[in-house]
């Protein structure tokens, strides 16, 4: 356990046994049409290979996963070893309870402990809640990448955001 919001919510390391609930939350996000351009959640082995081994978090309420957050490397090149992309999802039942902010703040803290100097996020432009969450946690909008990818045959614009550490790489 790394952080606590209330007597009911804790942030802990994401473990393989959390993945069925993590996958469900990811699929619920996909169903909104504004969370990701992906259309199918991977099985554990593929998900595990995609994300960094550290900085994997879940928000738990009575052993139920309320949300999750993790990082993926943006490049395999050593010069970008301190740059990662964040992913944050909250179960619809737990929206507007501060779960996303709790997760992203802890993710920022742990990323800095891991030597990450820049976090970036690519957010579907219509996902105003996620853009606002990232702004609350020190991210700034770098720009909008127009028609970056398609979802169900429709081109989508992606808001590119970044947060530069005040501790690492200064």
Rg (CA), the chain: 15
Residue 2 has pLDDT above 50, yes or no: no
**Superfamily, domain 3-120:** Gcn5-related N-acetyltransferase (GNAT) (3.40.630.30)
Average pLDDT, the chain: 93
* Distance from C-alpha of 136 to C-alpha of 105, rounded to nearest angstrom: 9
Range 88-100 average pLDDT? 95
* Domain boundaries of the chain, sorted by first residue: 3-120
Q: Residue 29: which of 65, 55, 62, 74 has the closest Cα?
A: 65
Question: Residue 1: its pLDDT value, please?
Answer: 39
Range 147-158 average pLDDT? 95
The beta strands (E) that lie in 62-139 are given as 64-73, 83-90, 118-124
Q: Residue 167: which of 133, 126, 138 has the closest Cα?
A: 138
* Distance from C-alpha of 139 to C-alpha of 132, rounded to nearest angstrom: 9
Residue 6 has pLDDT above 60, yes or no: no
| Span 107-146, pLDDT tens digits | 999 999 999 999 999 999 999 999 999 999 999 999 999 9
Residue 11, token pair as written in the block: 């942030």
Question: Residue 114: its pLDDT value, please?
Answer: 95
Residue 29 has pLDDT above 90, yes or no: yes
């Amino acid at each position: 356990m790394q952080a606590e919001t209330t007597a009911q919510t804790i942030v802990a390391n994401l473990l393989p046994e959390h993945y069925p609930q993590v996958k469900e939350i990811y699929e619920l996000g996909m169903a909104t049409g504004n969370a990701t351009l992906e259309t199918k959640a991977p099985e554990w082995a593929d998900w595990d290979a995609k994300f960094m081994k550290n900085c994997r978090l879940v928000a738990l309420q009575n052993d139920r996963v309320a949300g999750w957050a993790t990082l993926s490397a943006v490049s395999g090149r050593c010069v970008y070893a301190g740059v990662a992309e964040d992913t944050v999802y909250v179960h619809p039942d737990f929206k507007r309870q501060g779960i996303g902010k709790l997760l992203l703040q802890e993710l920022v803290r742990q990323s800095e402990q891991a030597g990450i100097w820049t976090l970036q996020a690519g957010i579907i432009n219509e996902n105003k809640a996620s853009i606002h969450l990232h702004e609350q946690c020190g991210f700034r909008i770098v720009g909008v990448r127009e028609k970056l990818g398609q979802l169900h045959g429709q081109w989508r614009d992606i808001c590119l955001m970044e947060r530069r550490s005040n501790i690492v790489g200064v």
